[in-house]
Amino acid sequence: MRHPDPFLAAHGYAGAARQPLPADASLRRYTRLLGGPRPALLMDAPPPEDVRPFTHLARHLGRAGLSVPEILAEDEAAGFLLIEDFGEANHATLLDAGADPIPLYAEAAEALAALHAAPVPPGLPAWDAAAMTKATAATFLDWWWPAAFGAPPGAAVRQELAAALHAMLAPYAEARGIVHRDYFPANLMRLPGREGPRRTGILDFQDAATGHPAYDLVSLVEDARRDVAPEVRRAAIARYFAARPGLDRGAFLGAMAAHGAQRHLRVAALWVRLDRRDGKPHYLKHGPRCWALLERALSQPACAPLRDFLDAHVPHALRRNPESG
């Protein structure tokens, strides 16, 4: 039976007070340890979670000069890690407390540009059109569609969605780099005393992959979980482009629209899966925002293939999430 006590005792934290942190949508659990050799968090990642992607990326990104938690101790087989504690000042908490959003989003964009400039380590999975199509089908077709229409989609619909997503995303396949895949305020920390990109601590990067960097920037400025004002969005995009002056702005904005449309459709439907499969209906409150962001993205020329698919199969009146099942 898995239990963290022997692991904690072996590294000097047997007597540390434990403060569980709020859980997210994954199986991982974090506990703040108070009174040990140094401030630390316990990451408890039971199967099928795997801590190895986290440790691999943490060491790689740390060497690249980014602020990620230092690995203090590990038991990969058991799924336990001791990691550096960055404190409680994550960007989401600061925003909820009334902090000026523009500096926070600009700092986050600056750190994101540094992340995207870092070398790609070996072994990262691809977050390409094929992977994004599979992920979208796993939420939109497997969960949202039966909830909305009362029956699963047929093979033709599956093939048409795959073709639409491939046509929308394929033009941007050449630009590859590390993508975090969940770059939003709850996974970012403000770290006083650090400068430049290191002012922003980056968390929850274990699902990173290789893909188009536009995916992360749109995740930040078109957040599925909170509204981002237009002026904040503009400031973050401007800081990102300032840090990466060689980018083709027009092509990158097109990539943001395409990758945003895919993400918004997948995540809007993910809330349905979290409700119906995992018993977490509170996530449904984010559905209207995701569908609104999707409609905005679909107005862009880069998203024409997905727009045509949805126009053919999903009436506008159904472009919402069903009530909790």
pLDDT value at position 31? Answer: 96
Considering the domain architecture, whether residues 184 and 50 belong to the same structural domain is answered as no
- Please, are residues 258 and 303 in contact by the beta-carbon 8 Å criterion? yes
Considering the domain architecture, whether residues 119 and 267 belong to the same structural domain is answered as yes
269 assigned to some structural domain: yes
Considering the domain architecture, whether residues 78 and 97 belong to the same structural domain is answered as no
Q: Which of 30, 51, 84 is the last residue before a domain boundary?
A: 84
Average pLDDT over residues 30-57: 94
What is the distance between the alpha carbons of residues 157 and 164, in angstroms, rounded to a whole number?
A: 10
pLDDT surpassing 90 at residue 47: no
Q: Render the burial of 59-92: b for 16+ CB within 10 Å, e for the rest.
A: ebbeebebbbbebbbbbeebbbbbbbbbeeebbb
pLDDT surpassing 90 at residue 24: no
pLDDT value at position 23? Answer: 76
* pTM for the structure as a whole: 0.93
Considering just the CA atoms, what is the radius of gyration of the chain in Å? 20
163 assigned to some structural domain: yes
pLDDT value at position 185? Answer: 98
Q: Which of 84, 112, 127 is the last residue before a domain boundary?
A: 84
Supply the CATH number for residue 133's domain. 3.90.1200.10
325 assigned to some structural domain: no
pLDDT exceeding 90 applies to what percent of the chain? 94
pLDDT value at position 45? Answer: 92
Considering the domain architecture, whether residues 102 and 244 belong to the same structural domain is answered as yes
pLDDT surpassing 80 at residue 32: yes
pLDDT surpassing 70 at residue 82: yes
157 assigned to some structural domain: yes
324 assigned to some structural domain: no
323 assigned to some structural domain: no
Q: Which of 62, 84, 106 is the last residue before a domain boundary?
A: 84
Q: Which residue segment(s) compose the domain that 150 sits in?
A: 91-318
What is the distance between the alpha carbons of residues 68 and 204, in angstroms, rounded to a whole number?
A: 9
pLDDT value at position 22? Answer: 84
HSE-CB at 233 with a 13 A cutoff on CA atoms is 12
Considering the domain architecture, whether residues 51 and 120 belong to the same structural domain is answered as no
What is the tens place of the pLDDT at every residue in 167-211? 999 999 988 899 999 999 999 999 999 999 999 999 999 999 999
What is the total count of domains within the chain?
A: 2
pLDDT surpassing 80 at residue 249: yes
Average pLDDT over residues 4-8: 96
Considering the domain architecture, whether residues 224 and 312 belong to the same structural domain is answered as yes
Take residue 228 and report the two structure tokens written for it. Answer: 């981002």
* Lowest-pLDDT choice from 45-49, 105-109, 233-237, 241-245: 45-49
Average pLDDT over residues 147-157: 98
pLDDT value at position 1? Answer: 60
Considering the domain architecture, whether residues 287 and 174 belong to the same structural domain is answered as yes
The identity of residue 121, as a single letter, is: P
Considering the domain architecture, whether residues 97 and 218 belong to the same structural domain is answered as yes
64 assigned to some structural domain: yes
pLDDT value at position 175? Answer: 82
Supply the CATH number for residue 36's domain. 3.30.200.20
Considering the domain architecture, whether residues 314 and 239 belong to the same structural domain is answered as yes
The residue to which tokens 């449309």 are assigned: 261
Who contacts 292 (Cβ-Cβ below 8 Å, separation ≥6)?
none
Considering the domain architecture, whether residues 299 and 222 belong to the same structural domain is answered as yes
Considering the domain architecture, whether residues 77 and 223 belong to the same structural domain is answered as no
* Mean pLDDT, the chain, integer: 96
What is the distance between the alpha carbons of residues 318 and 215, in angstroms, rounded to a whole number?
A: 26
136 assigned to some structural domain: yes
Strands 80-84 and 177-179: unpaired
pLDDT value at position 26? Answer: 77
Considering the domain architecture, whether residues 212 and 158 belong to the same structural domain is answered as yes
